[in-house]
Structure 1
Amino acid sequence: MELREKVVVVTGGGNGIGAALCRRFAAEQAAKVVVSDIDMANAEAVAKEIGGLAIQCDVADESSIQALVKQTVDECGRIDVFCSNAGITVKGGIESPNEDWMQMWDVNVMSRLYAARAVVPMMLEQGSGYLVHTASAAGVLTEIGSASYSVTKHADVALAEWLSVCYGRQGINVSCVCPLGVTTDFLDNDDPIHRYLHLHAITADDVAESVVNGMREKQFLILPHPEVAEFFSLKTDDHDRWIRGMQRLRQKLTREMKKRDAA
């Protein structure tokens, strides 16, 4: 898809990858870029910079996404591309409280479902549309540190696959963006696991460039880090061997964390 003269909505557009996507879509001469964020000040700042439209939205609330879609259609006439980009992360494994798990589920997964419910019927009527999910390499590999992040990002990829299978022959394209480390607030320098991700980290602008190129080719999996494709191939070739390798990596990083805490 070429983005020129398209109406594009980006959730979580006020910072990080979302803001980079908004700037890149504007550079592609989109008809209008809707910068949506729960933080209206951030959304307005990005929208002012690119000549876009700022709309506040809490993606964990289905009615808020419905309102976002309605306002966009009222002001722009249609939606050609909907980027479900907003996401969160929390630390912890199985000991994480249920409230954290449910918040992760609502923001990282249900928000994608709410968006699809709101825009797919319209796109089917238009005969065209594009859904973009910002997932993570954790969705095709795993995330050693946060169990809820890994699980919800896997679910995000699975939903994107389902949408592509069901609507891909009806004019709706779907892409799932799965970066590894990106230099945003998500990376915690005090976490040895995230320090490992810094070794492969790219910028949010790099991710946005990959997204635009991937959309042109209508790629389902957009992998801004080429090495993710290699890791994914190793996983599918010999899943048990891959798990053993990840166990060793986790053990190494856990030891580093204990040494740091003891110092």
Structure 2
Amino acid sequence: MASSAPVAIVTGGNSGMGMGIVERLVTKGWNVAIADINPNAKFAEQLGDAASFFKCDVADYDSQAQMFQQVWDRYGRIDALCANAGIVDKRQIMSNFKGVVYGTQLAIHFMRKNSTPGGKIVATASVAAIVPHETYPEYDGAKAAVVNFVRATARILKDKESISINTICPGIVHTSIIPQEMVDAVSPDCMTPVSTIVAAYERCLDDASLFGKVIECSTDKQFELEPPTLANGHYSVRAVTVWEPLFKMWVVCPDAMPD
């Protein structure tokens, strides 16, 4: 029997921003599946019956697929994917970008099975996706890929699947992946609190009209970032187009996509 309350999966839900998202959703009456590679049984227990833990490595498609199936088997619905998990290490392209792609593919599959098909996806990117941080070039690239993935998929997901997808770009937030020395080097008034990220997630989950949005979170503020423009007007615009045969091969038939 399907849960009477909406169900959200929060990846990376056992630390940092993920914990803030989980806590807020629980207070709003959601059932929350905490998907994380690291267990934190105490956190889920503190939240009561509304939260449950599912071990998951977002960089591994099979691990995510198993987690999604377990969540579906438990609740009978999946209304939202908060693709928040992120790391700064040698696996960051797999976790930070492909983890979002895998999660989106699986969310589409399961959200089609909801009693009312559709749902919402929100992914955590970074301001480094917009203006790269020279310290972390691979991180910059992975997060920029998330931004472009969201912008490229938003219209088709909304029209075809009744799924809205948006992305949040936090400034520097004091979480476990940020070295304390780096936090100390930033002026306190330039730090972004977790509450700003949580508020942006909440906005995307509450407002059905939002899709394809890239939302910068800086200090206590949110800003919608417009897509960049190309320089040569009509000629540049025509160079970025949908060619139907390729669209069918890569989007309609995703099995054709290489790893």
TM-score of Structure 1 vs Structure 2, range by shorter chain:
0.7 to 0.9
Partner of 1:183: 174
Deviation at 1:121, TM superposition (A): 2.3
Instruction: Name the aligned partner's letter for residue 122 of structure 2.
Output: V
Distance 1:202 1:62, change over 3 A: same
Q: For 1:190 and 1:75, how far apart are their aligned partners in 2? A: 42
Q: Point out where structure 2 has 5 or more consecutive residues left out of the alignment.
A: 232-259
Q: For 1:73 and 1:197, how far apart are their aligned partners in 2? A: 44
Partner of 1:50: 47
Q: For 2:188 and 2:38, how far apart are their aligned partners in 1? A: 27
Aligned partners of 2:215 and 2:222 also within 8 Å: no
Q: For 1:167 and 1:236, how far apart are their aligned partners in 2? A: 21
- Which piece of structure 1 moves more, 120-129 or 18-27? 120-129
Deviation at 1:110, TM superposition (A): 0.8
Deviation at 1:125, TM superposition (A): 4.2
Is 1:6 equivalent to 2:43 in the alignment? no
Q: For 2:188 and 2:134, how far apart are their aligned partners in 1? A: 14
TM-score for the superposition, normalised by structure 1: 0.75
Aligned partners of 1:9 and 1:82 also within 8 Å: yes
Number of aligned pairs? 219
Q: For 2:97 and 2:34, how far apart are their aligned partners in 1? A: 20
Partner of 2:199: 209
What does 1:73-222 align with in structure 2 at a 5 Å threshold?
Answer: 73-90=72-89, 100=90, 103-126=91-114, 127-170=117-160, 171-191=162-182, 195-196=185-186, 198-218=188-208, 219=210, 220-222=213-215
Q: CA RMSD in A?
A: 2.6
Aligned partners of 1:8 and 1:81 also within 8 Å: yes
Runs of 4+ in 1 over 3 A off after TM superposition: 196-199, 226-230, 235-239
Secondary structure at the counterpart of residue 190 of structure 1: helix
Larger helix proportion of the pair:
1
Deviation at 1:222, TM superposition (A): 2.8
Partner of 2:254: none
Larger strand proportion of the pair:
2
Aligned-pair identity (%): 23
Q: Point out where structure 1 has 5 or more consecutive residues left out of the alignment.
A: 91-99, 240-263
Deviation at 1:8, TM superposition (A): 0.4
